[in-house]
Amino acid sequence: MKRKAFAKAAVASMLIGTTMVGCTGAAFRTAAVAPQKPDRLAAGIEKALADRDGARAVDLAEAAVQAAPQDAGYRQLLGRAYVADGRFASAETALADAMTLGNRDARTIVTLALVKVGLGKDRAARDLLASHADIVPAADYGLAMAMAGDAPEGVRILSEMIHDPAATARTRQNLAYAYALAGRWKDARMMAGFDLDPLAANQRITQWAQNAAPGLSQQRVAALMGVTIDGADAGQPAALALAA
C-alpha cells in the first residue's frame, strides 16, 4: 500500500445514551426536508456524510427517523449524522437507541464508544467495548480501547495483530497511536515509520503529541473523527425519543 495513503491521522475502519430521552433537546428541523420515503432519505444521508455535510445529513436523518421511528438502521444513520455535525450528546442517544432496537454491528459499537469518550465517559466506553469484544474487529477494538483510556490493553491487542501475515498498514498505524497514548514515543515513531517516510512519520508524531496528554480525550476523538465537537449541543429532539 502506498505511503501517501497514510499521510493523515490513523483512523479506525469503523469510522466513523439514553440519558437525553425526555429532554427538550435541539430544535426539530425536518420541515426543511420535503416528504420522502425513508429509503430514499437514507441514500441522501449517505451522500451528505460522504460530502462531509453534517447539517444536511442531520436534517435528512431526523426526517427518516420521524418516518420510521422503530427502524434501527435509521437510528444508526442518525447517530452517524450527529457525529458528522459534532453533536455528540445527540449521537450518544441515537446510537444507543439503535442498539436498543437490535443494531449490534461493529460500526455502531465503535462509534458509540468513541462518542462516549468524547463526552468524558471513558469507563462507559471501555465497558461497552469489552462487552462486545466478540463483535468488534481487533484492530478497531485495540485502538478504541486506547482512546478510551486503556492504552496498555490497546497495545496488547494490536501488538498481537501485527504478527499476523494479514496485518495491514492501518493496523500498524493504530498500534503506533496506541504506543503514543501509552507514552511509548520511541516505539510509536518506529512503528509509524513502517508505512511513512521519515518526514511524514515525524509530522504524525508531532500531531499526536499535541493532544496525547491526559484530559484531552475530547480533542483526540475530534481529531480522529475529523469533526469539531459542539459543546452547546442540546441533545436529540424530544420528538424523536424512542418510545418505551
Residue 237: pLDDT band (50, 70, 90) is very high
State how far the Cα of 168 lies from the Cα of 149, in Å rounded to an integer. 24
- Contacts for 35 with CB less than 8 Å, ≥ 6 apart: none
- Domain limits, the chain: 14-148+217-240
Q: If you average pLDDT over residues 25-53, what whole number do you get?
A: 77
State how far the Cα of 21 lies from the Cα of 23, in Å rounded to an integer. 6
Q: Which amino acid is at 157?
A: I
Least confident of 51-60, 186-195, 214-223: 214-223
- Residue 65, burial from CB neighbour count under 10 angstroms (0-12, 13-18, 19+): buried
Chain centroid to Cα 15, Å, comes to 5
Its CATH architecture, for the domain 14-148+217-240, is Alpha Horseshoe (1.25)
- Contacts for 52 with CB less than 8 Å, ≥ 6 apart: 84, 226
Least confident of 9-18, 40-49, 85-94, 177-186: 9-18
Q: What is the pLDDT of residue 21?
A: 26
Least confident of 45-59, 63-77, 222-236: 222-236
pLDDT of 128 over the 70 cut = yes
pTM of the shown model: 0.84
Residue 195's φ and ψ, nearest 5 degrees, are: -120, -5
Percent of the chain with pLDDT over 90: 76
Q: What is the pLDDT of residues 154-201, one digit of tens each?
A: 999 999 999 999 899 999 999 999 999 999 999 999 999 999 999 999
With vertex at residue 80, the alpha carbon angle to CA 152 and CA 19, rounded to the nearest 5 degrees, is: 80
Residue 33: pLDDT band (50, 70, 90) is low
Residue 26: pLDDT band (50, 70, 90) is low
Q: What is the pLDDT of residue 28?
A: 53
pLDDT of 212 over the 70 cut = yes
Residue 71: pLDDT band (50, 70, 90) is very high
Q: What is the pLDDT of residues 174-183, one digit of tens each?
A: 999 999 999 9
Whole-number average pLDDT of the chain: 87
Q: If you average pLDDT over residues 131-148, what whole number do you get?
A: 96
Distances (CA, A) of 181 to 32, 149, 205, 224: 42, 8, 11, 13
Residue 244: pLDDT band (50, 70, 90) is low
- Residue 6, burial from CB neighbour count under 10 angstroms (0-12, 13-18, 19+): buried
